[in-house]
Structure 1
Amino acid sequence: MEATAPRGGVAPCTRRVMNLAHTLRKNGRRLRDGLGLVQAGRRWTWAELDARVDAMAAALAQRGVVKGDRVLVQSRNGNQLFESMFVCFRLGAVWVPTNFRQTPAEVAYLAKASGARVLICGSVFPEHAAAIRAECQALDIVVEIGGESFGEDYDHLVAEHAGQAAPVADVEHDDPCWFFFTSGTTGRPKAAVLTHGQMGFVITNHLCDLMPGTKEGDTSLVVAPLSHGAGIHQLAQVAAGATTVLTGGDRLDPEEAWSLVEQWRIANMFTVPTIVKLLTEHPAVDRHDHSSLRHVIYAGAPMYREDQKRALKALGPVLVQYFGLGEVTGNITVLPPRLHAAEDGPEVKVGTCGFERTGMQVDIQDTDGRSLPAGETGEICVCGPAVFAGYYDNPKANADAFRNGWFRTGDLGHLDPQGFLFITGRASDMYISGGSNVYPRETEEKLLKHPAIAEVAILGVPDPTWGEVGVAVCVARPGETVEEAALLSWLSGEVARYKLPKRVFFWDDLPKSGYGKITKRAIREGLEARGCLPLEQGR
C-alpha cells in the first residue's frame, strides 16, 4: 500500500531534532579550556565535563542502558548531578532527578512511578537507595556518588572509561528526555514528560525572553536544587557557554551566596520569591559587590509586592519574573526588569506576572472552556511549543489537564486589556464565604503591608454560618509583636468584610517545599495537629 502524502504535497518525514547533550559537546570543542562548572574551589573546564559525560555514558551503555531507559538521580547539587543530565541525554535515556530533601519513601515512589532502571545516588542517602531497591523491581543498575557501599562508585566508573564514548542517540522532537515530577502540593507527584524538541525551544526562549545578552564568559549562580527549575535554567546557561557556579553547602547561606556573586562577578541567578526575600533581607547583601548582576530571575510563585519593593531597593532594576508550571517548563509569561519598579505609580502594574512569552499563548477560560474577556477571572490556560507531552502513564491526569488543545494550569487569573496576566491564586485556594468567591492572595498582599508581618498564608476552612471562612497563619518580623484583634482591626480598613479572616494564628515559620514554596496543605495539617481546626476547637 502506497503512502499518501499529506495535504500540500509534503512527504511525511521524521521530526529529528538536536540531542540536548550537543549543547555541552559544542562547548567542549569550541570553548575547551573555558570554565564550565565551579563548586567550592573545584573547577571543571568544558572539555573536562564533556569527557566525563562521555565516560559515564560509555559505562552505562556497557551495562545495557539504552534509549528510553529511565535514570533516577538522588543527589545534592554537585558536578555529578550536573553531568548526569547530559549523560542521560547523550544516551537517549530519560533523566529523572529527585529533590534530595524528599524522604526515602517519597523517592521510592518516584522510582516506581517512573519505571526507573538505573539509580545514581549520593553516598549520604543509603536509606533512599535501600527503599528504592525494595520498591522498584525494574532497577538493576546502581551507581553511588562518593562511595561504593551500595553501588558502583561514580568517579571510579568515569576513570575506568576515560577516553571512551557511547554513540550519541538520534532523537526526534517528541522523544522524552526528562521526567519532571510535579511538586505534589495537591496529591501524589506526577511525572511530566519533557522532550528534546520541547526543551530546545525552551532553551532558546529562556535566552531570548529572560536573559537577553547572556553569552560565553558570563557566570550564573545556582541557589536552588538542579532537579527542577534551576536545572532548566542551567541548561540554558550551557547552551550560551556561561559558567555555572554552585554553592558549597547543603543549605542556602546568604553570606556565601553574596560572596560568590562578588568573587565570580555573577551575571544571573535563578530563584523563587522566598529565596529572593531571604537574600535581599540579609545584611550580607550590603557587604558584597553585586553590581555585576543583570538578571535575578524568580519563578515558582508570584512575589508579594512588599517583598518585591524591598528586593528592588536592595538590588536595583535586575528582577525578572516568569510564570509557568513544570508542565510548561516555566515558559508562560515574563515580566522583564524595565517593568519592575520599587515605587508604586500610575505606570506600574502592581501584581502582574507579565505578558506572554515568545511563541506562547494564554487564554482565560470559564469552567466550560469558553474564553473570557479582559478583566474577568477564570482558569489560566496555555498553548505553545513549551507545553509538555503529557504525564507519564497517567491517562486520567492527561484527560483532566488538556481541553480542546489547551493545557489547564489550575491557576486562576485574568488578563488586562494590554494582555498582562494577573494571578489570583490556585483554583484549589479559592473559597466561597457567604456566596462570594474569596481569593486569598489579595488579602495576603494586604497583610504584608503591616510592618510587623513577614510572611502569611490564608486558607479557606468550613464554617457552619458562612459555608467557608478564612484562617490566616502569620510570621512576625524579628522583634515585632501584634495581637490578633489588633491585626484584624487594621486589616478591616484594607479589604471588604467578607474577605477578612475569621482567625489569625502566629507561628515561628511557615512550612515550605524543597523548592521554597509555602505549602498550604502542610499548613492545614499543622493547624489540625495543633487543635486549631475545626475552628470551634480553636476558639
Structure 2
Amino acid sequence: MNVLTRLLEHAATTPDRVAIIDRDGRQISYAGLAREGARFAALLHSQGVRRGDTVLVLVPMSIELYATLAGVFALGAVVMVLDPSAGLAHLERCCALRSPQALIGVPLAHLLSLAVPSLRRVALRVCAKGWWPGAVPWGRGSGSVELGEEVNTDAPALLTFTSGTSGTPKAALRTHGLLLAQLAALETLLAPEEGDVDLATLAIVALANLATGVTTVIPDASLRRPASLNARPVLEQIARHGVTRTAASPALLERLADVASKQRLSLPGLKRIYSGGGPVFPRVLHKLARVAPNARLIGVYGSTEAEPIAHIAFQDLSASDLEAVRGGQGLLVGPPVEAIDLRIMPNRAGELLEFADLESFEAVTLGAGKIGEIVVSGPHVLPGYLGGVGDGETKFRVNGRVWHRTGDAGHLDAQGRLWLAGRAGARILDARGELYPFSTECAALEVPGVRRCALLGHRGGRVLCVGWEKGRADKKETEALLERLAWAHVDRIVTVKSLPMDARHNAKVDLGRLRKLLTQDKLHGAADGGISVWKKTPP
C-alpha cells in the first residue's frame, strides 16, 4: 500500500475540496494536488528517478512540497529530509549515511549545497519555486504517472535524521507501513471533524491532514525561530480562513498567545490546539486558554522514533495535578495512546539491555509511582535505524518484539498516566540523593516571573539557571524561589538574560551549550546568598 492511497480517495470523492491554502493565499484542491503529483512524478521519471532511489527534498511547507512528496512516493522512491538549521557539518554527516540521487530544493537550498561537498555531487537537481543554473525547473513537463502504484508496506518511504548533538546523527528510515501506522495514530489523536481547517506548522501533521481530507493552512511566517516569529500574519490567517485547529511547538503557541493577548485579540473559532515537540508546561496552556476560550488544549508527548506516545487535555488537569507539578512530581503528559505499549524500566542510562524472555522483562519493569526509563513498542514505533547505527543503545528485543528506549525518565501514576521526569542520563546523584532536574524545572516554571530555566549539576553543586520574564529579578524574588525549591536542595540560582535553546523548536534548553558556558566560569557574586548573575548573554 502506498501512503498516497488516502489522498487519492479524497481526490476521487471530494475533488473540489481545498487541500492546501499556501502562505501567499494560493489554494489547491485535492484533485488538483493529485494532478500536480502525477505531473511531477512524470518529470522525475523522465530524468531517471526510479523505485528505491533517494530523493533529498529541501522545500519549505507549501503546495510545491506536498505535490513533490506525492510525485516521489508515486515512483516508489524514498523522500529524504534534512534540517538546514542544524549546520553544514550535520548536512554533510547525514549525506554520508545515505547519498541522494536527486536534490529538489528552492534556490536557497541549491546555494547551500555549494558549501556541502556531498550535496555538490548530486547529479540530478530540480529547482522549486524559482530558478537555479543547471537545475530542472519544477514546473517543467505536462505528462503524468499513475499515482497510487502498489508498494509493499515494508518498502522504504521517508528518511529523516536525529539531531546528532552527541556526534553522528542517526537515520530514521520509515517504511510505507510504518508511516501509515503513524498517520493512523495521529488521526486518532487529532480526531478530524467534517469542515476542519488546520493551521499546520509540522510537515507530518499536514501529511496526516491530506490522508483524512482536512484543509491545511500553511503559516505565513518563518518557522525556523518559532519563539520570535512574526505572529500577526499568522493570527490574521487563523481568522481569515476559519482555522478550527492547530498543532505546533509550545514556543510557537506561546508566541501566538503573547501577541494575541498584547493586541487584545481573541481566537474563538479555534476548537482544538495540540502542542508537542517539547515540554508543554501548564503556564503555556493557561495563556492559550485566555486567547482561545473555546479550544480544547492538548499536550502531546512523543519523539522522532515514536510519535505520538501520550497526550492529555489541559481541561483534564486537576488542582491536585498542578500542585503535584509544583511539588516536584514532574510534568503530567497523560495516558499512553491506544496504539502503543509503554513500560517503566530501572534507569540504566548508558547500559545495553538484554532479556531472555518476556518473563524476565516483566520482572524488572517498575510499578506505579516509581521513576525509571520510559520504553515503548507498537506499530508506529521505529524498529531500528539505517544500517543499525544506534540500535544497540536505543533498541532491545523481547520474544522478537522491538522495544524503543526513549531516553526519557518518568513514572506512571495510579491512574495509568505518564509523568515525565526529564532525560534519564541527566539524573543527578550526589550526597543529597537522587534528583531529576526536569522535575525541579517544572516546579520553578510555576513561579510567577520565571520564563525559562535549567538545572545542572556543576562542580559538586546544584545550579538553577533562570531566565526571568522581565530580564532579571531582584534579590527578594530570587531568594523566594530558592526557598520554594528547598526540597530540591538547589545551591545557586544564576540569572541569565537569554538561555540557549534548541534550534528546531525553540522549546528545550540546549544543555550542552549551557554546560559549556557554565564551565567557562562566567559567574560572579556567588557569595551573595547563593545568587549569581551571568556576566555575558549566551550566544
Partner of 2:71: 87
Distance across 2 between alignment mates of 1:459 and 1:299: 24
Partner of 2:154: 174
Question: How far did 1:52 drift?
Answer: 1.1
Partner of 2:256: 279
Partner of 1:218: 196
Matched, 1:402 2:392: no
Distance across 1 between alignment mates of 2:322 and 2:85: 42
Alignment RMSD (CA, Å): 2.8
Matched, 1:196 2:176: yes
Deviations 1:243-270 (A, max 9, x none): 1111223253221221111111112111
In structure 2, relative to structure 1, the CA distance for the partners of 1:167 and 1:386 (3 Å cut) is closer
| Aligned length, in residue pairs | 498
Question: How far did 1:398 drift?
Answer: 0.9
Amino acid aligned to 2:442 = E
Matched, 1:292 2:269: yes
Question: How far did 1:430 drift?
Answer: 1.9
Equivalent residues in 2 for 1:402-421, closer than 5 Å: 402-404=395-397, 405-421=402-418
Match of 1:60 among 38, 44, 50: 44
Partner of 1:521: 512
Matched, 1:496 2:475: no
Distance across 2 between alignment mates of 1:274 and 1:424: 20
Amino acid aligned to 1:387 = V
Distance across 1 between alignment mates of 2:484 and 2:308: 34
Partner of 1:355: 335
Amino acid aligned to 1:333 = A
Match of 2:54 among 61, 66, 70: 70
Amino acid aligned to 2:450 = I
Question: How far did 1:324 drift?
Answer: 1.1
Deviations 1:333-368 (A, max 9, x none): 121355246xx2479975310111112111001136
Question: How far did 1:148 drift?
Answer: 3.2
Question: How far did 1:285 drift?
Answer: 7.4
Matched, 1:148 2:123: no
Question: How far did 1:498 drift?
Answer: 5.0
User: Secondary structure of the equivalent of 2:484?
Assistant: coil
Partner of 2:8: 25
Deviations 1:460-490 (A, max 9, x none): 22x2xx3xx3333322213x6314x545521
Question: How far did 1:82 drift?
Answer: 2.5
Equivalent residues in 2 for 1:81-480, closer than 5 Å: 81-132=65-116, 134-136=117-119, 139-157=122-140, 160=141, 162-165=142-145, 168-208=148-188, 210-215=189-194, 217-222=195-200, 224=201, 230-251=202-223, 252-283=229-260, 287-316=264-293, 317-328=295-306, 330-336=307-313, 338-340=315-317, 344-345=319-320, 351-366=331-346, 367=348, 370-393=364-387, 395-404=388-397, 405-434=402-431, 436-461=433-458, 463=459, 466=460, 469-478=461-470
User: Secondary structure of the equivalent of 2:127?
Assistant: strand
Which segment drifts farther, 264-273 or 309-318?
A: 309-318
Question: How far did 1:504 drift?
Answer: 0.8
Amino acid aligned to 1:300 = G
In structure 2, relative to structure 1, the CA distance for the partners of 1:396 and 1:183 (3 Å cut) is closer
User: Secondary structure of the equivalent of 2:208?
Assistant: helix
Amino acid aligned to 2:395 = F
Question: How far did 1:180 drift?
Answer: 2.3
User: Secondary structure of the equivalent of 2:335?
Assistant: strand
User: Contact between 2:172 and 2:384, CA under 8 Å: does it hold in 1?
Assistant: yes
Distance across 2 between alignment mates of 1:295 and 1:53: 30
User: Secondary structure of the equivalent of 1:156?
Assistant: coil
Question: How far did 1:112 drift?
Answer: 2.5
- Unmatched segments (≥5 aa) in structure 1: 1-17, 225-229
Deviations 1:107-140 (A, max 9, x none): 23322322211111210234322234x2258722
Partner of 2:25: 41
Distance across 2 between alignment mates of 1:379 and 1:237: 33
TM-score w.r.t. length of structure 1? 0.85
User: Contact between 2:260 and 2:266, CA under 8 Å: does it hold in 1?
Assistant: no
Deviations 1:40-68 (A, max 9, x none): 12111222211111111111122221222
In structure 2, relative to structure 1, the CA distance for the partners of 1:51 and 1:304 (3 Å cut) is same
User: Secondary structure of the equivalent of 2:139?
Assistant: helix
Amino acid aligned to 2:234 = A
Deviations 1:125-165 (A, max 9, x none): 34322234x225872211112333244244332xx1x2421
Deviations 1:78-114 (A, max 9, x none): 2222322222222211111222434333323322322
Amino acid aligned to 1:211 = L
User: Contact between 2:275 and 2:299, CA under 8 Å: does it hold in 1?
Assistant: yes
User: Contact between 1:174 and 1:197, CA under 8 Å: does it hold in 2?
Assistant: yes
Partner of 1:8: none
Amino acid aligned to 2:411 = H
Distance across 2 between alignment mates of 1:433 and 1:82: 51
User: Secondary structure of the equivalent of 1:127?
Assistant: helix
In structure 2, relative to structure 1, the CA distance for the partners of 1:440 and 1:267 (3 Å cut) is same
Amino acid aligned to 1:490 = A
Distance across 2 between alignment mates of 1:124 and 1:419: 48
User: Contact between 2:37 and 2:69, CA under 8 Å: does it hold in 1?
Assistant: no
User: Secondary structure of the equivalent of 2:184?
Assistant: helix
Distance across 2 between alignment mates of 1:151 and 1:374: 61
Which segment drifts farther, 364-373 or 163-172?
A: 163-172
In structure 2, relative to structure 1, the CA distance for the partners of 1:406 and 1:125 (3 Å cut) is closer
Distance across 2 between alignment mates of 1:233 and 1:165: 26
Deviations 1:9-30 (A, max 9, x none): xxxxxxxxx2002222222222
User: Contact between 1:305 and 1:445, CA under 8 Å: does it hold in 2?
Assistant: no
User: Secondary structure of the equivalent of 2:115?
Assistant: helix
User: Contact between 2:8 and 2:148, CA under 8 Å: does it hold in 1?
Assistant: no
Distance across 2 between alignment mates of 1:293 and 1:432: 45
Amino acid aligned to 2:368 = A
In structure 2, relative to structure 1, the CA distance for the partners of 1:451 and 1:337 (3 Å cut) is closer
Amino acid aligned to 1:112 = A
Amino acid aligned to 1:454 = R
Amino acid aligned to 2:469 = R
User: Contact between 1:299 and 1:322, CA under 8 Å: does it hold in 2?
Assistant: yes
User: Contact between 1:433 and 1:498, CA under 8 Å: does it hold in 2?
Assistant: no
Q: Identity percentage over the alignment? A: 23
Distance across 1 between alignment mates of 2:286 and 2:99: 45
Distance across 2 between alignment mates of 1:459 and 1:348: 23
In structure 2, relative to structure 1, the CA distance for the partners of 1:513 and 1:27 (3 Å cut) is same
User: Secondary structure of the equivalent of 2:472?
Assistant: coil
User: Contact between 1:254 and 1:284, CA under 8 Å: does it hold in 2?
Assistant: no
Amino acid aligned to 1:472 = L
In structure 2, relative to structure 1, the CA distance for the partners of 1:20 and 1:486 (3 Å cut) is same
